[in-house]
Structure 1
Amino acid sequence: MSQNGVPDFAELLRSAQRTAVHLEMRDVYSVGDERDSFDEFLRTGRTDLDPDSPFWQGWTPLVRETVARGVQMRRARIVSEPVTDYIRWEHALTAVNVAVGEQVRWLPRRLASDIALPGNDLWLIDDRRVMFHWFTGDGDWAGHEFNEDPDVVKMVVAAFEAVWERGIDHEKFTV
């Protein structure tokens, strides 16, 4: 367990028994460990699509391990259109997420107006535990909050499922 009762993310994902879902709602993130890859994409239009490369080593082994245990991993992204450069880059990278076992859908923000959404991005594990992610105004990490309150979990489940139902499969979504 990490500080303030918030589990380490890898520990949280490894605890999943059935489902792990991720809701992303920002059009731009600016987390430090992505900066070089994003800058390369802006300069060249290319990105690292090798799931075994050093860029992906913090993620793809964990996803493969989780999916191999029978856990269904779904990621839904709500995006503004036209999309930002960051979302174009994220869309290009998503081929790796799908290749290692995640299911990914995209929902244009204009189609989410009548969905009651949580105020922050999140991971929901087994429809029981939520880890909210906080970001600064410019998109860098600002913190996390772990929540198991049944009312909060119920709201998150409803929001994610509504987004997922309306979302467009990655293979069909163009940027």
Structure 2
Amino acid sequence: MYPARRASTAPLRGSAVGALVGALAIAAHGVGGGEVPDSATLTLLLVTCGGVGAMTTYLPTRFHGRLGLVASLGLGQLAAHYALTLTDHPHSAGPALPMFAAHALATAICALLIASAERIFESLVHVWHLVVRGEPQSISTPTHSHVSSHHANPVDALLRASISRRGPPVRV
């Protein structure tokens, strides 16, 4: 059995999920009263976010829907939160209800942003391939319909002839 083919936007999705998980974890950590993370904590967070992004990139195509994206972001935020609580700093391991609500709202917004970016990315890649390949595209010539000089209404013909197509005077 052959492995499932990845979507063309899978690297974009994985990179965005990894970056947003890290950014949201640091922001929520600061809002939750945590101190500025030291270098060991940031290293652990970076490894965690990189792992979440890589796992999201290599998810099978059937999990690339909105629910899969929300699950990746949510589980990534949970992993990042626990990565921040593994080091010595005054912060509880369990998130409070307001922090949980903020994470849920941020997850939904980020999922919408990533899904929109994927749609735009697919369109841009399609156009880019057309431009780079340089394949000649067929150009359809417009068909000119013959306009009869015989008008059923002479007033209509008089009004058409009286409309000036001349522009304003040009300064000399």
TM above 0.5: no
Normalization by structure 1: what TM-score? Answer: 0.20
Greater fraction of residues in helix = 2
Larger Rg computed on CA atoms: 2
Structure 2 length-normalised TM: 0.20
Higher strand proportion, which one?
Answer: 1
